[in-house]
Amino acid sequence: MVLKQDKAEGQQPPARPAGVPAKRATIRDVAREAGVGIGTVSRVLSGRAPVAPATRARVEAAMRKLGYHPSRAAQALSRRRTNTIAVVVPLFTRYFYVEVLRGIEEALDETGYALVIHSVERAADRDRAFGDLVESQRADGALIVSLAPDLSLIESLRALHLPAVLIDSSHPALPSVVVDHERAAAEATHHLLRLGHRRVALIDRKDDPFSAEAASARIPGYRRALAEAAIPWRAEYEVIIDFTPEGGQTALRSLLALPEPPTAVFVGSDTQALGVLEAAREAGLRVPGDLAIVGYNDIEVARYVGLTTMRVPMREMGRRGGELLLRALDLGEVEAVHLRFDAELIVRRTCGGSLFRMPTGIDAIG
Amino acid sequence: MVLKQDKAEGQQPPARPAGVPAKRATIRDVAREAGVGIGTVSRVLSGRAPVAPATRARVEAAMRKLGYHPSRAAQALSRRRTNTIAVVVPLFTRYFYVEVLRGIEEALDETGYALVIHSVERAADRDRAFGDLVESQRADGALIVSLAPDLSLIESLRALHLPAVLIDSSHPALPSVVVDHERAAAEATHHLLRLGHRRVALIDRKDDPFSAEAASARIPGYRRALAEAAIPWRAEYEVIIDFTPEGGQTALRSLLALPEPPTAVFVGSDTQALGVLEAAREAGLRVPGDLAIVGYNDIEVARYVGLTTMRVPMREMGRRGGELLLRALDLGEVEAVHLRFDAELIVRRTCGGSLFRMPTGIDAIG
DNA sequence: TTGTAGGCGTTATCAG
DNA sequence: CTGATAACGCCTACAA
């Protein structure tokens, strides 16, 4: 049995039971040291209660002397809030999500909120993450990125008064910030059309089985643009394929094998567009001479391969989402605002627009 | 004043004070519902104490009925551990760090630990993050990535029995997992020399003012390789410049302006190498014909621009770091193991060599 | 202004 | 096996 010997500087036992942290000074120690009651210490801690300057000084000195810091766990238990925000995000290795997270970070910076991140890779992860959200009240609020919450989650959130905001996903009951994929797709297609193309294909990805619907929003946009330009729609020009460069590569190959191959293609993700570029290269096609390409998202790579693309304001979406949540946390009640952003066309070298440069001078570039 | 009316399904007041979560079932509610003492409920909760099957069943039924989930905050206070791990990482927007985080995630997956991420952008952030680590015991342990902990932090960590492991950074007192930058740089340079180059330059970045020393480790490696090949070292062939594509671009320009420009260049980061490629292009140089390039890290883009590079096992470093920490958490005592990884040469199109692989392996020292 | 006595929801200890 | 009861460290009335 270990006796607490506060005064004696006895040898610490070299080994400790797992995870048992060292004893820290508590509010009581500070109170004793300063010769005041713990209530007073608490007051100087929170700062929002009247304390006599002299008393305050004594307490602060005591805190400094003891190296005191309040226990978050105890505060959380007592205040019934953790000062933590949970974010649930699909494989955050993707540039898109990293940018969103950066934006969230920006919003939360200096607010004292910590961020706990749940990275979701499989549907099971998602369920676990969602479950965790409601079960363990680790967080005061949640940010859900590109994931569609199911009704039971929404119900639980509301029942628990746990504010949540959706980013790149939406639901009438929750605040959300999204980008208008339909419109963006239409704009990308329009751009190609404006450049004189009449055979414009679409390559896009399947929606993740457990994510929000981005692809399914782009397709109508593409079709609408076609219709507005009175270009007949062709089923064989719409290729839905894996969300990988290889997917894009395969897609373009099959498109090129058509009797009437397209002269331009709108690709629903830059990731796939990279593969499209590769396929164009292997086919000996000049880009944009023989084939114009417009990607989607404007991931980091896009700039280096000269890919024209629709820039999705990922960072800003994250930031606004974070702000919305902060707001809800302040108000104590969520207002279901829905922010909608537009993507922006970034013209580079793969579409043959105004700014025209050879795709690359480096023979290494795909 | 609000009376608790457990039975009556009264109207909830529409507005609540900020951040006050809904009342949840507590362990006491469950105990009452199951007609047992709270101790028993706690036992079935932890599972590691004998409870009669029948009692257990009753308790579990009660928990289900009430939708009960233990309060993490209360558990944290009582158990004196949060089941949370803090990671401090420089601007996690960079691919390198994202990969490391992925690795960490892998290690922590299924362990029940949550991850709170402190992204450090400025020196002030770092200090704040480090301070937070020791002050608020939000976390049971810490993972510090590419950041050099100062002595006071190390002292505090040890005093608090807060295990920490360093990733891509090192200190004798703390477990660490690093890559041997010196050796990797030498290998990269050797590769270029083997290909017949005699005028091999180095472009690298300044170390971040507050990060661990990677660049300063690569420089000696480069010099050693030169020396081993009996190639005289030239001061004008070493360019230390910003960690951006623009930096690389500027660097190559100045190198090309030399009376005897290099025929090959080892670039200490792929990010800068992108700019080098750009500068080569603008100078009308063929790559690798006129200029061979080897980058460093193997970031995602590298593959798409065909950049030969030294692959740093970022993900694995993260994973091993996570495992080390988990281990320390289990043991309750940190053992200062030092894992050292080697980078691997990935030959692509910018160096003109044949496919040649370096030996890789992990050796534990200390 | 300040001290004191609960209470937050669990875990742990100790009799029964 | 099980039920009280005391921590855990802080916050918040309430009384002084």
Give me the residue label for tokens 């949060």.
B82
- Provide the token pair at A164: 């949540």
Contact (Cβ atoms closer than 8 angstroms) between residue A314 and residue A357? no
State which residue has its Cα closest to the C1' atom of C3.
A37
Contact flag B80-A21 (C-beta cutoff 8 Å)? yes
Q: pLDDT at residue B15 above 70?
A: no
What pLDDT does B93 receive?
65
- Which of A165-174, A295-304, A349-358 is the least confident region? A349-358
A 69-98, residues with C-beta < 7 Å of strand D: 69-71, 73-75, 77-79
Contact status, residue A314 vs residue A96, Cβ threshold 8 Å = yes
Contacting residues of B for A76, CB less than 8 Å apart: 73, 76-77
Of A14, A115, A366, the CB nearest to B116: A115
Cβ of B300 within 8 Å of Cβ of A301? The answer is: yes
Q: Where are the beta strands (DSSP E) in A236-343?
A: 238-241, 264-267, 292-297, 309-311, 338-341
For residue A160, which residues of chain B lie inside 8 Å, CB to CB? 21-22, 24
Q: Is B235 exposed, middle or buried (0-12, 13-18, 19+ CB in 10 A)?
A: exposed
Quick one: pLDDT band at residue A12, thresholds 50, 70, 90?
very low
Model confidence at A323, pLDDT cuts 50, 70, 90, reads very high
| Number of alpha carbons in the 13 Å side-chain half-sphere of residue A196 | 8
- Asked if pLDDT for residue A154 goes beyond 80, the answer is yes
Rounded Cα distance between B333 and B317, Å, is 21
Q: Which of B77, B304, B349 sits opposite A305 (nearest CB)?
A: B304
Q: Work out whether strand B200-205 and strand B238-241 pair parallel, antiparallel, or are unpaired.
A: parallel
For B37-49, b/e burial (b = at least 16 CB within 10 A) is eeebbbbbbeeee
Cα A204 to Cα B260: distance, rounded to the nearest angstrom = 49
Flag whether residue B81 sits within 8 Å of chain A, measured between CB atoms.
Answer: yes
Whether B335 has its CB under 8 Å from any CB of chain A: the answer is no
Residue A295 near residue A343, CB atoms below 8 Å: no
Say whether pLDDT at B286 is over 60. yes
Separation between Cα atoms, residue B109 and residue B111, nearest integer Å: 5
Sequence-distant (≥ 6) Cβ neighbours of residue A330 within 8 angstroms: B18
Strand ranges inside A149-300, DSSP E? 164-167, 176-179, 200-205, 238-241, 264-267, 292-297
- Residues A324, B230: Cα–Cα separation, whole Å: 62
Collapsed DSSP state (helix, strand, coil) of residue B282: helix
A·B CB contacts under 8 A: 176
pLDDT, residue A287, reads 87
| Residues B181, A77: Cα–Cα separation, whole Å | 46
In the predicted structure, residue B35 carries a pLDDT above the cut 90:
yes
Query: Is residue B152 scored above 50 in pLDDT?
Result: yes
Of B15, B20, B305, which is closest to A304 when you measure between CB atoms?
Answer: B305
Best CA proximity match to B182, nearest among B268, B251, B295, B95: B268
Q: Which residue has the higher pLDDT, A153 or B3?
A: A153
pLDDT at A360: 39
Distances (CA, A) of B21 to A72, A83, A135, A161, A337: 17, 13, 13, 5, 21
Q: pLDDT tens digits for B170-180?
A: 999 999 999 99
Q: Residue A361 pLDDT more than 50?
A: no
Query: Residue B135 and residue A69: Cβ atoms within 8 Å?
Result: yes
Is the pLDDT at B354 greater than 60? The verdict is no
Stated in angstroms, how far is B281 CA from D4 C1'? 80
Query: What confidence score (pLDDT) does residue A327 get?
Result: 92
Query: What average pLDDT does this structure show over A53-66?
Result: 92
Cα four-point dihedral sign B154, B156, B158, B161: negative
Residue showing tokens 């919305």: A324
Optimal mutation site among A12, A26, A72, interface B, most CBs of chain B within 10 A? A72
CA distance A131 to B286: 55
Which among B15, B18, B115 has CB closest to A116? B115
CB-based contact, B280 to chain A, within 8 Å? yes
Taking an 8 Å cut-off on Cβ atoms, the answer to whether B82 and A102 are in contact is no
Closest protein residue to D7 using CA and C1' atoms? B78
Answer for B50: CB within 7 Å of strand D: yes
C-alpha to C-alpha distance for B225 and A103, rounded to whole angstroms:
43
Quick one: pLDDT at residue A24?
83
Covered bases, chain C (protein CB within 7 Å): 1-5, 7-14
CB B295 within 8 A of CB B204: no
Cβ contacts of B301 within 8 Å, gap of 6 or more: A300, A301, A304, B95, B270, B274, B307
Reply yes or no on whether the pLDDT at B303 is more than 80: yes
Distance from CA of A182 to the nearest CA of B (A): 28
* A360 has a chain B CB within 8 A of its CB: yes
When the pLDDT of each residue in chain A is averaged and rounded to a whole number, the result is: 86
C-alpha A170/C-alpha A147 separation (Å) is 9
DSSP 8-state code for residue A347: -
Inform me whether the pLDDT recorded for B4 exceeds 50.
Answer: no
Cα gap B263→B247, rounded to integer Å? 19
Higher pLDDT, A284 or B136: A284
Identity of the residue numbered A176: S
| Higher-pLDDT residue of B121, B337 | B337
- Which chain B residue is nearest to residue A116, measuring alpha carbons? B116
Judge whether B17 is closer than 8 Å to chain A, CB to CB. yes
pTM of the shown model:
0.81
Per-residue confidence at B211, pLDDT binned at 50, 70, 90?
Answer: low
Residues whose CB is less than 8 angstroms from the CB of residue B53 and which lie 6 or more positions away in sequence, other chains included: none
| Chain A nearest-CA residue for B75 | A73
**Binary contact (B282, A361; C-beta < 8 A):** yes
Which residues make up the interface with nucleic strand C when CB must lie under 7 A?
Answer: A 35-40, 43, 49-52, 54-56, 74, 77-78, 80; B 23-24, 26-28, 38-39, 42, 45-46, 68-71, 73-75, 77-79
CA A12 and chain centroid, separation? 45
> Which stretch of A104-108, A206-210, B280-284 has the lowest confidence by average pLDDT?
A206-210
Contact B280, B219 (CB under 8 A): no
Least confident residue range of A169-178, A348-357, B96-105: A348-357
Closest residue in chain B to residue A70, using alpha carbons only: B136
Helix, strand, or coil (residue A131):
helix
Contacts of A328 in chain B (CB under 8 A): none
Q: What is the DSSP letter of A211?
A: B
**A17 in B contact zone (CB under 8 Å):** yes
Q: Which residues of B touch A330 (CB under 8 A)?
A: 18
Establish how many alpha carbons lie within 13 A of residue A113's alpha carbon, considering only the half-sphere containing its beta carbon. 27
Tokens found for residue A101? 């997270």
- Please report the residues numbered 166 through 185 in chain B whose beta carbons come closer than 8 angstroms to any beta carbon of chain A: none
Q: Which residue type, as a one-letter code, is found at position B37? A: G
Q: What is the mean pLDDT of residues B99-124?
A: 86
DSSP H or E segment with residue A86 = strand A84-90
Residue A209: per-residue pLDDT: 63
**Of A117-126, B185-194, B301-310, which has the strongest mean pLDDT?**
B185-194
B274 contacts chain A (CB < 8 A): yes
The four Cα atoms B31, B35, B40, B44 give a dihedral, to 10 degrees, of -80
Q: What is the CA radius of gyration of chain B?
A: 27
Q: What amino acid occupies position B172?
A: P
What is the token pair recorded at B4? 């608790």
Decide which of B334 and B231 is more confident.
B231
* Residue A365 contacts B where some CB pair is shorter than 8 Å: yes
Taking phi over 0 as left and psi of -120 to 50 as alpha, with beta for the rest, B127 belongs to alpha
Q: Tell me if B332 and A116 make a contact (CB, 8 A cut-off).
A: no
- Asked if pLDDT for residue A6 goes beyond 50, the answer is no
Q: CA-to-CA distance for A89 and A97, rounded, in angstroms?
A: 7
The CA distance from A210 to A123, in Å, is: 6
Six-digit token string for A67: 């190296």
Cis peptide before A288 (omega within 30 of 0): yes
Residue B301 touches partner A, C-beta closer than 8 Å: yes
Residue A164: strand pairing partners: A142
Strand partners, B238: B202
Which chain A residue's Cα is nearest to B112? A132
Is A114 a residue whose pLDDT tops 60? Answer: yes
| Domain annotation for chain A: domains and CATH numbers | 22-70 (1.10.260.40), 181-312+345-365 (3.40.50.2300)
pLDDT > 90? residue B110: no
Distance (Å) from the C-alpha of residue A231 to the closest C-alpha of chain B? 34
Which amino acid, A246?
A: E
Spatial CA neighbour of A204 closest among A194, A213, A191, A195:
A213
Contact: A140, B19; criterion CB under 8 Å: yes
Q: Report the b/e string of A155-176 with b at 16+ CB within 10 A.
A: ebbeebbbbbbbbbbbbebbbb
Nearest CA in chain B to A162: B21
B window 200-259, beta carbon within 8 A of A: 245
Judged against a pLDDT cut of 50, whether residue B299 lies above it is answered with yes
The answer to whether the CB of B205 falls within 8 A of the CB of B215 is: yes
- Distance CA(B21)–CA(A125), nearest Å, equals 25
Residue type, A196: G
DSSP-based three-state secondary structure for B238:
strand
Say if CB B254 and CB B235 are below 8 A apart. no
